[in-house]
Amino acid sequence: MTQTAQERAHVSAPASGITLSRLMPWIIAILFLLIMPILFGSNSAITIMNQMMITIVFALAYNMLLGQGGMLSFGHAVYMGVGGFMCMHIIRMVEKYGIPLPLPVLPLFGGLFGLGLAMIIGSFSTRKAGTVFAMISLGIGELIAACSVIIVVFFGGEEGISGDRTYGLPFFGIEFLQQKEVYYLLAFWTVLSTILMYLFSRTPVGRMANAVRDNPERAEFLGYSARWVRYFSFCASGFFAGIAGGMFAINYEILTGEQLSLIQSGAILLITFLGGVGLFFGPIIGAIVFTLLQTVLSLQTEIWQLYVGALFVAAVMFFPGGLAGVLMMHVPAIRLGKLHLLIVPYIRTLVPAVLCIIGVAVILEILFHVRHSAPGDNEMTLFWITFDSHNPVAWAIGAVLALGGFWLARMSAPDLRDAWHRANTLDGGAA
Amino acid sequence: MTVPALQLDGLRKSFGKTEIIRGIDLSISAGERHAVIGPNGAGKSTLFNLITGRFPQTSGTIRLHGHDLKGLAPFEINRMGLSRSFQITNIFPKMSVFENVRCSLLWSQGYKYSFWNMVSRSRELTEGAMEILDQINLTSRAELPAGVLSYAEQRALEIGITIAGGADVIMLDEPTAGMSHSETDYIVELIRKVTEDKTLVMVEHDMGVVFGLADRISVLVYGEIIATGRPEDVRGDPKVQEAYLGAALEAEH
């Protein structure tokens, strides 16, 4: 019997060891990171990408709690923020006393301070999961955010603290004067942190984090203290959040109390959820999409947060797996080689749906303009068209787009559903 | 004389003013298959929860291989070699079947809270998990999320998780609850197979299961054990017949 079990172990157990196909996504991602600044060399593009990488590390760290450990935190910005503040202070000290500390290792210190804080807070907050944990995280988040105004020496009060990353010793001749140099430094830390967080999820404590998330009581009867498993996940998450803080300090050279605030903690929850908590790479997608929305959309409209909020609500209601979950839904169809069946129905449903969304956005934008622009300023520009916001025709166009798009999308939805069904069933199969 | 695997002395438990367990003395020797039966509300599950550290006892002692379990948390008791299943299926629904079993092997293979080992790189873990899956006939289901298995399969997985850690005292809480006849036979065979050379303590409603499987039976009525002995002795005991079996046997016919 042992013999057969071993034979089967080779057949159906998940293959262990490192294979090229497993390394492929990582290699592609690293190459991608390397060539991005060459493709998009403008300073603004690099600024956006730097912001993305910081958010990716933070979101992945956050998902160690939310997705993998089942702990909903409302105050995780604190660990990133404290890591960042500490790094800022280190930068200033290096500047003041001429300590020979190269800038590239700075995020490690951010991580260590994030870890230290997480070790203290986690010692009592991880006793229970669920509401108790969420409430404690909220309380601690508020507490430390309030400290930023009170302890001015450390947090710098309202204006925060700032430093100069170029004052340290040059690192192999690199002074980090240029955005591009910062980009590659952040890319290095992003890749390193992502690999380490991925490996963490494969370790015994990472696996047990999933078990404790699913069923803490059963985990206790397997010899593991649910509380200690949560504690270790929490500390690891605090460490990587601190690294993100260090990256932030290097990139922006300033930290303010805003970095500790509930707004930041809420944003990271939103980003992680939008990307998908169930899959390791979900938060990466969330971070990229959110940063794009934040930077691109906020240039175009003042009510961009409304759209992001609507997207978040839609994700929670219709796509609980997030964007990553939506992508993974298509894996069976790809395996069956039937993805092409979905292309036409997708176009026929999604194009009207996009029109509908544009229509709604037009109405919202006009409404916003009418209510908030100075009296007499009736002129507004939307989608490169300038028109009178008090003109009923503009309203009518918006309404037609919204209603017409909605109607067309609804008409073709059944076709999409059929196509979806066909794409996900075997030929000639009964199911 | 050898130390009994499990020994209870004067065990009592009250919830508020209500006394659920009212003084239980019981000794189960190593390698014995012991069944606890009794009518609904007799305190069988409470007794299980006391032994496994889910609730603290009000008074009395519980000894596992001679060690007092007072004040120990479930995970500490588990590390001493006692493992249990639950009356309500209690698995990790979002994890794969394979992952369920592998997690239950981690502690006993000495991985503790390590974050410097990769679980997929350990042959012992993979082979150990596949061996357990083979024993519970779920090899073909290894990659599925545990939550989508059929009820009987989930119960089998539950037993697999319970035995995987290599505990020598296995406690099963109504392993055949809610199963059809054929499923029950399957689970009984499974229990017989996986608890060989181990101490088994089980709570069970199904009389056929109890009499077929157990070496000794204790009858628990209103928080007290009114009889303990070999199945045929217990069946013949007039007190038992009056209190419980008579009604149950009548109901069966």
* Domain shared by A280 and A257, yes or no: yes
Beta strands B6-15; B18-28: pairing state = antiparallel
Contact residues for A143 (Cβ-Cβ < 8 A; gap 6+): none
Q: Do B95 and A236 touch (CB under 8 A)?
A: no
The whole-number pLDDT of residue B195 equals 87
* Domain shared by A339 and A305, yes or no: no
Predicted confidence band of residue A429 (pLDDT cuts 50, 70, 90): very low
**What's the pLDDT tens digit per position in A100-135?**
788 889 999 999 999 999 999 999 999 988 899 999
The whole-number pLDDT of residue A336 equals 81
Q: Is residue A153 part of a domain?
A: yes
The whole-number pLDDT of residue B133 equals 92
**Chain A, nearest residue to B134 by Cα:** A5
Predicted confidence band of residue A229 (pLDDT cuts 50, 70, 90): very high
Q: Do A203 and B161 touch (CB under 8 A)?
A: no
The residue out of A323, A347, A374 marking a domain boundary is: A323
* Domain shared by A300 and A370, yes or no: no
Average pLDDT over residues A217-236: 93
* pLDDT over 80 (residue B251): no
The whole-number pLDDT of residue A385 equals 79
* Domain shared by A55 and A137, yes or no: yes
Predicted confidence band of residue A170 (pLDDT cuts 50, 70, 90): low
Neighbours of A113 (CB within 10 A): 24
Mean pLDDT of chain B: 87
* Domain shared by A277 and A389, yes or no: no
**Alpha-carbon distance A224 to nearest alpha carbon in chain B (angstroms):** 5
* Beta strand extents in A192-258 (DSSP E only): 254-255
* Domain shared by A314 and A340, yes or no: no
Interface probe with A: pick from B80, B82, B101, B106, most Cβ of A within 10 Å: B106
* pLDDT over 80 (residue A167): no
How far apart are alpha carbons B198 and A1 in whole angstroms? Answer: 19
Average pLDDT over residues B235-248: 72
The whole-number pLDDT of residue A168 equals 64
The residue out of A323, A345, A370 marking a domain boundary is: A323
Neighbours of A268 (CB within 10 A): 28
* Domain shared by A298 and A415, yes or no: no
Do residues A270 and A141 make contact, with C-beta atoms less than 8 angstroms apart?
no
Q: Is residue A9 part of a domain?
A: no
How many separate domains does chain A show?
2
Q: Which domain holds residue A176?
A: 25-323
**What's the pLDDT tens digit per position in A281-297?**
999 999 999 999 888 88
* pLDDT over 50 (residue A12): no
Do residues A292 and A285 make contact, with C-beta atoms less than 8 angstroms apart?
no
**Alpha-carbon distance A83 to nearest alpha carbon in chain B (angstroms):** 22
Judged by a CB distance cut-off of 8 A, whether residue B91 touches chain A is: yes
Interface probe with A: pick from B69, B76, B86, B118, most Cβ of A within 10 Å: B118
Residue B90 has its nearest CB partner, among A4, A217, A224, at A217
Q: Do B107 and A222 touch (CB under 8 A)?
A: yes
* Domain shared by A161 and A39, yes or no: yes
Q: Is residue A352 part of a domain?
A: yes
Q: Is residue A351 part of a domain?
A: yes
Judged by a CB distance cut-off of 8 A, whether residue B102 touches chain A is: yes
The residue out of A265, A299, A323 marking a domain boundary is: A323
**What's the pLDDT tens digit per position in A349-369?**
888 899 999 889 888 888 888
Average pLDDT over residues B204-222: 85
* Beta strand extents in A228-359 (DSSP E only): 254-255
Judged by a CB distance cut-off of 8 A, whether residue B2 touches chain A is: no
Mean pLDDT of chain A: 87
* Domain shared by A202 and A350, yes or no: no
**What's the pLDDT tens digit per position in A268-277?**
999 999 999 9
Q: Is residue A318 part of a domain?
A: yes
* Domain shared by A219 and A287, yes or no: yes
Alpha helices for A319-342 (secondary structure H): 322-329, 331-335
Domains of chain B plus CATH, in order, are: 6-252 (3.40.50.300)
Q: Is residue A1 part of a domain?
A: no
Judged by a CB distance cut-off of 8 A, whether residue B55 touches chain A is: no
Find residues 14-43 of chain B whose CB sits inside 8 Å of chain A: none
* pLDDT over 50 (residue A3): no
The whole-number pLDDT of residue B244 equals 65
* pLDDT over 50 (residue A4): no
**Chain B, nearest residue to A235 by Cα:** B115
Average pLDDT over residues A67-90: 93
Kindly report the CATH number assigned to the domain that includes residue A238: 1.10.3470
Q: Is residue A88 part of a domain?
A: yes
Partners of residue A222 in chain B, C-beta under 8 Å: 75, 78, 83, 103-104, 106-107, 161, 165
How far apart are alpha carbons A339 and A332 in whole angstroms? Answer: 9
Do residues A253 and A163 make contact, with C-beta atoms less than 8 angstroms apart?
yes
**Alpha-carbon distance B206 to nearest alpha carbon in chain A (angstroms):** 25
Partners of residue A232 in chain B, C-beta under 8 Å: 113, 115
Interface pTM, i.e. ipTM: 0.84
Q: Is residue A62 part of a domain?
A: yes
**Alpha-carbon distance A234 to nearest alpha carbon in chain B (angstroms):** 13
Average pLDDT over residues A4-23: 54
How far apart are alpha carbons A333 and A426 in whole angstroms? Answer: 10
Instruction: Give the total residue count for chain B.
Output: 253
**What's the pLDDT tens digit per position in B108-152?**
888 888 888 888 888 888 999 999 999 888 999 999 999 999 888
* Domain shared by A156 and A260, yes or no: yes
The whole-number pLDDT of residue A203 equals 93
Neighbours of A147 (CB within 10 A): 16
Between A427 and B245, name the one with better pLDDT: A427
* pLDDT over 80 (residue B207): no
* Domain shared by A337 and A237, yes or no: no
Instruction: Give the total residue count for chain A.
Output: 431
